[in-house]
Structure 1
Amino acid sequence: MRVLIIEDERPAATRMKQLIVKYLPQADIYGHLDSISSAVKWLQNEPTPDLIFCDIELADGQSFEIFEQVEIKSPIIFTTAYDQFAIKAFKLNSIDYLLKPIDPEELEQAILKFKNQQFQPQLDLGQIQQLLKPQGVHYKSRFMVKIGEKIQSIPTDEVSYFFSAERTTFMQTNEVGKRYILDYTLDQIEEMLEPTNFFRLNRKYIASFKSIDQVLSYSNSRLKIKLKNSEDNDILISREKVAKFKEWLDD
């Protein structure tokens, strides 16, 4: 059995492989492929996989673009960070999904569906994309933080950037030295923020537009970013994200 993983976050792909091996020990696992372009190239040149695990949001766009360029007859299990309401809509269309972070029991159930041939491989991509469009999305306007014994509310427009370090998520405000620990992952925070105001630079940083101090060209067509109130001089944007970042700056 050939299983393909399309996922742009390496830790998520590694975790997925570990779980697939547990529930499909006979599978030959290919990937991870981390972009639309790499997935299209693979699918055009390799034998059809028996099953595809596919993230929706990739480094260079939504994975639906893959299926617009290549005819896919394989059953697909999507992984997504979208909320439960959008996910329920997927179920109505008989398309399975896994909500990040991946729950092993949900993965096992999805694989059981595959084994029982309950998938419908013919996808109505237009309908799926419409379901994924935010309906009356409410973006977070403030974050609650704990300072000693006190609880304080920090308006989102006072946030310079969010970053992760040593498995902890921090929020840095526009005021020098003011940073707070949050009980969210960066993936969760990314979904809470107005995308015109914040951009996911890489796996460690989400920055506000106002926090961008300098944008410098770097090797291999990447960009190096200097943020206000940050001493980190190695904040890089991958070449896959460069075009999207420039578009965001020019929005």
Structure 2
Amino acid sequence: MRFLIVEDEYPAAKRLSQLILKIRPGTEICGTLDSVESTLQWLKDNPTPDLAFFDIQLGDGLSFDIFQHSPFMGPVVFTTAYDQYTLKAFKQDSVDYLLKPIEEEELAAALQKFDRRQQSPNMLSPDVLQSLVNSLSQPQYQSRFIIKIGQQLSYIATDEIQYFYSEDGIVFAQLEGKKRHALDYTLDALEPLLDPASFFRLNRKVIAHIQSVHKVAPFFNGRLLVTLRPAADFEVTVSRDRASDFKRWLGA
């Protein structure tokens, strides 16, 4: 069997490949691609794989764009880190999905489902594809973040995070107590991934969840002094220019 992987995060692509080969040792990973553009070119130059794993959100667009520009007719399993993408359309017989980080048991179940369909496979219909594209036109916010613990990958739910902060060029997700995890993001990259109803960019160093704001007090020059929980090891202030927006956010 020939499987194709389309995933723009190298650790996630490597993990998926390893799990596939563990569950199905005889499988050939015929390609590992990281963009819509490279996938379209690969499909043009190679035979259709027996099964393809497509990450929904790629660096240069949505993987659904591939179907709009290619006659690809093979079965597909979509992968995503966003709970919002677990849409009703995925319940169609022609589509399957896995939430990242992908667990071995869930992948094994998806492959068994693929085996059952091989005799009479149902392909991704234009109606289902359009339903997915329409649903994704609404803002989508990240529900979890991949973290590295030693040599292993795990994840934390966004709702577990009290605040994000930058220290010595590294961004950390601060959890309750003293737990924190380094993330492979900048604060600027994180900001559009977070629901603005729950998170606010306090300053260049901190993005806080509403549940982390413990106290707010007036400070020098019209600024606000914010006490977070758990307490930060540094002073957290909101500039005078952002103070009004911050107060509106608190009262929303």
Question: TM-score higher than 0.5 here?
Answer: yes
Which amino acid counterpart does residue 101 of structure 1 have in structure 2? P
Kept in 1: contact 2:82–2:142 (CA 8 A): no
Kept in 2: contact 1:163–1:170 (CA 8 A): no
- State the alpha-carbon separation in 2 of the partners of residues 126 and 106 from structure 1: 26
- SS state at 2:52 partner: strand
Aligned to 1:170: 172
Give the TM-score of the pair, scaled to structure 2: 0.57
Which amino acid counterpart does residue 40 of structure 2 have in structure 1? V
| Change over 3 Å in CA distance of 1:136–1:59 after alignment to 2 | closer
- SS state at 2:117 partner: coil
1:150-170 CA distance string (max 9 Å, x none): xxx65xxxx6759996xxx61
Aligned to 1:55: 55
| Change over 3 Å in CA distance of 1:58–1:144 after alignment to 2 | closer
- SS state at 1:121 partner: coil
- TM-fit CA distance, 1:62: 0.8
Aligned to 1:122: 124
Structure 1's consecutive aligned runs of 4 or more residues displaced over 6 angstroms after TM superposition are: 135-139, 142-145, 162-165, 189-192
- State the alpha-carbon separation in 1 of the partners of residues 112 and 167 from structure 2: 38
Which amino acid counterpart does residue 9 of structure 2 have in structure 1? E
- TM-fit CA distance, 1:97: 0.5
- State the alpha-carbon separation in 1 of the partners of residues 15 and 142 from structure 2: 31
Aligned to 1:108: 108
- State the alpha-carbon separation in 2 of the partners of residues 138 and 36 from structure 1: 21
CA RMSD of aligned residues (A): 4.1
- SS state at 1:53 partner: strand
Aligned to 1:226: none
- SS state at 2:113 partner: helix
Give the TM-score of the pair, scaled to structure 1: 0.57
Unpaired runs of 5+ in structure 1?
A: 146-152, 173-179, 199-207, 213-251
Equivalent residue runs for 1:1-251 within 5 Å: 1-83=1-83, 86-94=85-93, 95-117=95-117, 120-124=122-126, 125-134=129-138, 170=172, 182=180, 193-195=191-193, 211=204
- State the alpha-carbon separation in 1 of the partners of residues 189 and 89 from structure 2: 18
- SS state at 1:68 partner: helix
- TM-fit CA distance, 1:75: 0.2
- TM-fit CA distance, 1:211: 4.8
1:82-107 CA distance string (max 9 Å, x none): 11x54152432231111011011110
- State the alpha-carbon separation in 1 of the partners of residues 111 and 89 from structure 2: 16
- SS state at 1:116 partner: helix
- State the alpha-carbon separation in 2 of the partners of residues 27 and 113 from structure 1: 16
- SS state at 1:78 partner: strand
- SS state at 2:74 partner: coil
Kept in 2: contact 1:6–1:34 (CA 8 A): yes
Which amino acid counterpart does residue 18 of structure 1 have in structure 2? Q
Which amino acid counterpart does residue 93 of structure 1 have in structure 2? Q
Which amino acid counterpart does residue 192 of structure 2 have in structure 1? E
- TM-fit CA distance, 1:65: 1.0
Q: Give the structure with higher Rg (CA).
A: 2
- State the alpha-carbon separation in 1 of the partners of residues 169 and 104 from structure 2: 25
- SS state at 2:78 partner: strand
| Change over 3 Å in CA distance of 1:143–1:82 after alignment to 2 | closer
Kept in 2: contact 1:90–1:97 (CA 8 A): no
Kept in 1: contact 2:40–2:69 (CA 8 A): yes
- SS state at 2:86 partner: helix
